[in-house]
Structure 1
Amino acid sequence: MRHFLTLKDFTKEEILEIVDIGLEIKRNLKKKIYKKELENQTLAMIFEKSSTRTRVSFETGMFQLGGHALFLSNRDIHLGRGEPIKDTARVISSMCDMVMIRTFEQSMIEEFARYSKVPVINGLTDSYHPVQLLADYMTLVEYEAHENIVCAYIGDGNNMTHSWMILAAKLGFELRIATPKGYEVDEAILQEVLLLAKESGATIKTMNDPNEAAKGANVITTDTWTSMGQEEEKEQRIKTFKGYIVDEKLMLLAAQEAKFLHCLPAYRGLEVSEGVLERHSEIVFNEAQNRLHAQKGLMVWLDRKRGA
């Protein structure tokens, strides 16, 4: 049995295999072919952080695969009222076939997985967002932009940045990260990822100049400057991140056919300009839709590994 807590736990071949399964499922869906690979199975979805894309994609995905998804907020279960994580894990995993958790602390999901009898999926923590990176890479494959990637990440050194670092280290491409001073990536995670990068030949660079990062890049990506739980910092962050907007001027520094990605929700006029988002809206909203297909690929892969 395998869990999906970060991309660090997966080989390049396994990541590509999950993405391939998701792409096959997507192709079949367009042909109205529904393979009930998870028929009669139940996915417990625990949300300590709310979400549009995560809930809709997992719930819809489980339905399309023949199963059922349960939405559980921390107001609905005893986990939010003092029950130990290990007890909740033992109970839920004795009744359900898979668990997805979207929460704050990475340590919470790791403890849950230790006591779970079924696969646990990280739907997002403050440290990592690995399911989003499956969708992002799937999108690049679809647009034939997955070879010789030179990616520039512009913005906050957050869970998305950490996950891009791990994907780059696993797949062996170049990643340039431009953040304001004081908002860099977690140093411990960076050092761990740099060790992984040595094995794959990946190049991971951190800097404070967004123009330097964007120069010649063929993939440009960003994220909101103020993540959930940081609302009190919003005004200060807007001031600090001025100059880190992905706008037309910055995109001119990138390669001519550069792809722009955004995990959404996007705040136009802050991390991305209206013009850039609308010009690249096809790929960005396909990227959002690919959360559905990538996660179906992941759930099928995890189920197959459990039965192997």
Structure 2
Amino acid sequence: MFALRNTSMHNVKTFKQARNFRVEGTCLGSVNLKGRSFLTLKDFNPDEIKHILWMSADLKQRIKHEGQYLPLLQGKSIAMMFEKRSTRTRLSTETGFALLGGHPCFLTSRDIHLGVNESSKDTARVLSSLTDIVLARVYSHSTLEELNQEAYVPIINGLSDLYHPIQILADLLTLQEHYGYLTGLTVSYIGDGTNILHSLMMSLAKLGVNLRIATPKGYEPDATVTQEAMHLAKQFGTELHLFSEPMAAAQGSNVLVTDTWVSMGKEDEKTKRLKDFHGYQVTMQTGSVAAPDWTFLHSLPRKSEEVDDEVFYSPRSLVFPEAENRKWTIMGLIVCILTDYSPQIPKLKF
């Protein structure tokens, strides 16, 4: 029995070493994401991000538009751990995983108390032995890092205080579908320096997209993330500008983006935040200085103070296709991580 235990732990160690090796880059010049964790887009290069989007578009075309049944995840299961409530993240993952033939398992904070009833280390190891992949929606990004350190199955960030990368995959696919390309677009983010903004900052430059940011004083993005984003903009030859005035940020932009002003856990700051964000509501006046083809994105749920009805329900708003693409992109991501399937449709133009 001792020998069997040693063999088991050796296999775990070997798997983690292999997984960590793949994090550093693609495999022998081709995109190979199998076994990878997905904590932040910071860890993924342009070809890898494009491959995930291509995979997502392929599944959407074959399943939604052609009516094909693709049980690519048959026999596989996912543990979905949620410290924070969710609509789109839960439904997109749960229905998407099941649509591909797999079994999703939803765990709320009542079912699993990370670091309270059981340590994150023990939780990671137990879930690794019972499921093929874990999606965790947590308060602290450090929780994800600890889970990833101890697990020997891939971990997906379903949202943390620092990043929300699966939302950005949906945003990118939505823009690619609408414009037919991404390179050369300019995105203007107007609002709080949230995990949405941080994930945009870690990905847009890699796809040739310029980023203009407007945040009130005291609500700027994380300084370390900003420094890294500046480096990426220089590396990939894109523009990154930070403003304190929304109209300045919106100037000439193709895409206007905002996010919640009062994130979960910050409800006690609502009165102060509404005052501090006065003038940041996205309206048609904001769009008047944008590019003629400007569109609007919001990760939802939306409050009227963030964007008015005229914009939110207008033909320029892509928020509902964006919400649907949460499903196709999480499916595409998981298929990349768990299978050897290759997209059948022509490569997307970026």
Common fold: TM-score over 0.5:
yes
1:34 partner amino acid: Y
Q: Output the CA distance in 2 between the equivalents of 1:169 and 1:283.
A: 21
User: Match of 2:339, SS?
Assistant: helix
Instruction: Kindly provide the CA deviation profile for residues 218-277 of structure 1, in whole angstroms up to 9, marking residues without a partner as x.
Output: 111000110111100011111110100000111111111111111111112x11011000
Change (3 A) 1:78 1:127: closer
Paired position in structure 1 for 2:133 = 98
Q: Output the CA distance in 2 between the equivalents of 1:295 and 1:78.
A: 25
- The answer on 1:148 being equivalent to 2:189 is no
Q: In the alignment, is the contact (CA less than 8 A) between 2:183 and 2:207 conserved in 1?
A: no
Paired position in structure 2 for 1:13 = 47
Say which of 57, 64, 67 aligns to 1:32. 67
Paired position in structure 2 for 1:116 = 151
Q: Output the CA distance in 1 between the equivalents of 2:340 and 2:242.
A: 36
Structure 1 residue 281 displacement after superposition = 7.0
Q: Output the CA distance in 1 between the equivalents of 2:278 and 2:155.
A: 38
Query: What is the percent sequence identity of the aligned residues?
Result: 47
1:15 partner amino acid: I
User: Match of 2:114, SS?
Assistant: helix
Q: Output the CA distance in 1 between the equivalents of 2:303 and 2:135.
A: 27
- The answer on 1:58 being equivalent to 2:86 is no
Which stretch of structure 1 is more off in the superposition, 67-76 or 162-171?
Answer: 162-171
Instruction: Kindly provide the CA deviation profile for residues 85-134 of structure 1, in whole angstroms up to 9, marking residues without a partner as x.
Output: 11100000111001000001111001101111111100000100000000
Taking the TM superposition and a 5 Å limit, the aligned residue runs for 1:261-272 are 261-268=297-304, 270-272=305-307
Instruction: Kindly provide the CA deviation profile for residues 50-92 of structure 1, in whole angstroms up to 9, marking residues without a partner as x.
Output: 1000000000000011001001112102536331111100000
Structure 1 residue 305 displacement after superposition = 6.7
User: Match of 1:83, SS?
Assistant: coil
Paired position in structure 2 for 1:2 = 36
Structure 1 residue 169 displacement after superposition = 2.7
User: Match of 1:72, SS?
Assistant: strand
Runs (4+) of structure 1 exceeding 4 A deviation are none
1:62 partner amino acid: F
TM-score (norm 2): 0.85
Change (3 A) 1:152 1:281: closer
Taking the TM superposition and a 5 Å limit, the aligned residue runs for 1:103-182 are 103-144=138-179, 146-182=182-218
Q: In the alignment, is the contact (CA less than 8 A) between 2:189 and 2:197 conserved in 1?
A: yes
User: Match of 1:122, SS?
Assistant: strand
1:219 partner amino acid: V
- The answer on 1:283 being equivalent to 2:318 is yes
Paired position in structure 1 for 2:124 = 89
User: Match of 1:49, SS?
Assistant: coil
TM-score (norm 1): 0.96
Count of aligned positions: 305
1:91 partner amino acid: V
Q: Output the CA distance in 1 between the equivalents of 2:316 and 2:296.
A: 9
Q: Which has the larger radius of gyration?
A: 2
Q: Output the CA distance in 2 between the equivalents of 1:116 and 1:305.
A: 21
2:166 partner amino acid: V
Can you give the 5+ residue segments of structure 1 that lack an aligned partner in the other structure? Answer: none
User: Match of 1:81, SS?
Assistant: coil
User: Match of 2:257, SS?
Assistant: strand
Q: Output the CA distance in 2 between the equivalents of 1:176 and 1:20.
A: 26
2:279 partner amino acid: G
Can you give the 5+ residue segments of structure 2 that lack an aligned partner in the other structure? Answer: 1-34, 342-350
- The answer on 1:239 being equivalent to 2:275 is yes
